[in-house]
Each structure stands twice: as C-alpha cells, then as structure tokens.
Structure 1
C-alpha cells in the first residue's frame, strides 16, 4: 500500500451511498464517525484487493473516536452498502464495496491522517465537511490537485443541505485540507469555485513512496 495516498471506489460517491449518511434522526455524531472511518480505512486498504485487516485499537487511534462510536460508525457504513465487515474479536477484515477496475479516487495520506486526528466529532458543519471531502476528491482533475464545482454540484453529490455547504468548506479550509477561489460565473449566473486539495496525488498504482507534502496551515484567504 502506498504511503502517499489511499483510495476508495468512485461508485461510493456517484451511487449516492456515502451521501446517504446525512445525520438524520439524530445520527449526526455516528455519521461523522462513519465518514472518518471510511477515509481512515481508505488510507490503509490494499489497492488491488480493496481489503484491510485492522485492530479496533489502531482504528480508534487513527480516527480519535471512542470504541462505542466506532461500532456505530461501522454499522452505518455496512447499512449504507459501502463497506463489508468480517468481525473477529478486536481485529476485523474490511472490504470496500462497489469497486471496479480502474474506478477509484485517491485520498492523500499525510494531510488526511492529520485531519482525522482532530477531535471534532459533533456538529452539522463538521458532518458537512467530512461529506464534502470525498466529493471534492471525486471531482478532482486527475492531473492536478484541483476540483472545479458549483455549490449546487457539491450539494447534489453530498446531500449536504445548501445552507451548510459553505460551513463545511470553511471547516475543510481550517483543517488544512482545501483552499479555494471563485471563478467566472457560469451561463446561468451561478458562481463556481476551484478547490485545491492538499496532499500528494501520485500517478498509477501504489509504489510504497514516503509522504512528501505537509498539511497546509489553516488559511481563510483564497489562493
């Protein structure tokens, strides 16, 4: 597995299954945890088999989540149909579902790991941020670290309520995962933005390289 980036199946986003974890019915905390766990596993999963075996203590350390919340998060991911869990005491085997050959999206390792350790596990804006991150990774231009999107596009893929999109993006900026700037308005007058994602996006299959890109400093100023 590469130490520069992990990956997740693009169908997790374009099927709407990750987006179904909306925090409804009082499940905001559990669904924040679910998105964090999904990305934490994406950083460790074997690129070819889409599987990883991991102890609960290791996963807990990676996500800054309590053990009971990990259980709720895994249950939510299973119910959403994006993860299969084979349980064996305190060490489980996890399999990303919906995968297909060459249909994956990269997750930058170092920057994402730093953000996952933040003990920010409550609130609508925090949930919006973790829901928007895989969407931005999904929309990223494969040759750069940039994703071009309107708020309506982000809302459609993530199912974040329109009034919470900006708050979610602000969280990602504060965590050093994204910088953004406006572009020219499109034909309908709706502004679009370029979102620059932090991290090392290498080409091809994992090669075991070391992380070289530090997490960005929190910055509210568009680049």
Structure 2
C-alpha cells in the first residue's frame, strides 16, 4: 500500500521495485552488465536524460574494453575511477521511471538510490507533497503491481551530505556544470572554463579532478559509516 503525508514542507518516499516487477522495463537490461548500480550525486538534471555520478559493480574486470556504450538505458559518458570490480562513472540514465521523476515539477531523485540483481530498484524521491503524489500516481501507471514504499515527513538531509570544497574549487566545479561540461553532448571544454574564469586550463583540470575525488571519497566514507550496502 502506498500512502502520502499531507503536512506542509518537503517530503521524501523510498520505493522498492523487485526485479520480477520490472521485467517489462528497458532499464532492467543494465543488470546484464552490472551487478549493482548506485547513484552518488546528480550532475545535470536540467536536460533529459539527467546525468549522475554512479558507482557500478561488475564481475568482468574487462567490461569497458569494448567501449562505454554497453546499454541504451545507461549512457556512460566518462569513467572517473576504475578498479578491478567497480568503477565511478558519469552517466545519463534513460528509462520510463527516471523520465517520470524528472518530468514532475518540484520532484527529484536523491540518495540512496540503487539497482541490484538481487533486490531490484531501491529509489528515493524527494519533493513537495503535491509533486510526490503526482509522481506516486505515475509510478503506479508504470508498475501497477503492489509496491513497497516507506514515507517520511522529514527530509533525509543527514544521509549523504555534500563535502565542503575550497572556494576556488567550488567555483570551478559550478562553472563547469553551468557551462555544460558534464552535459551530453559536452557543451564546453576545460579551455572554455579557464577563459571564463581567467585562469589556466591546467588549473581547471586540477580543480575538477580534485573536486571529483573529494566528492567520491566523501560519499564512500559516509556510506561505509552508515552501514548502507
């Protein structure tokens, strides 16, 4: 049963969609390549499909040797860090559920959100009560089966907090997002960012690499400390 709190203020709800409930959805094919996909942070939600930093787990350590276009529902734009069985990537996530969330005004995807072979989709959506009701109704149209959902009247602000970046690094990262560096297709280069800010291209590259590393390390530590798996 799905409910909705009608009090004032932002709310969030967490939805569990079992793998067998989503066999008709195109995004389920992502699990043919990855055992688990976790959304870490949004990069650009102003365009469809939205772009996110994700942590992907896999069994084949050579998974990316044939290229990044493994699945139409998961358009990988960049590998940030790669290890033997997992990698941090920037990807555009396509599919009816993600399109539904992105299409509802005052409603957005947040963390924790993950897709696994064993548990299926665990998604956290945050927004106004009106927006969440609209998202809930549309989700029931996509997946008419009974869904497991947890609802809260408070914002889960303490789950994953954004790391504090030095002022200059924060400025470079924000400028990169605003100019479309993480958009698809990419709308600017590091040189464009450097010219916009009046600094060297090498400095921009250093700031972006450092900021991406700080975000990933912060997320990993908080996820470990919280016991989230």
TM range (shorter): 0.3 to 0.5
- Structure with a larger share of its residues in helix: 1
- Structure 1 length-normalised TM: 0.33
- Structure 2 length-normalised TM: 0.32
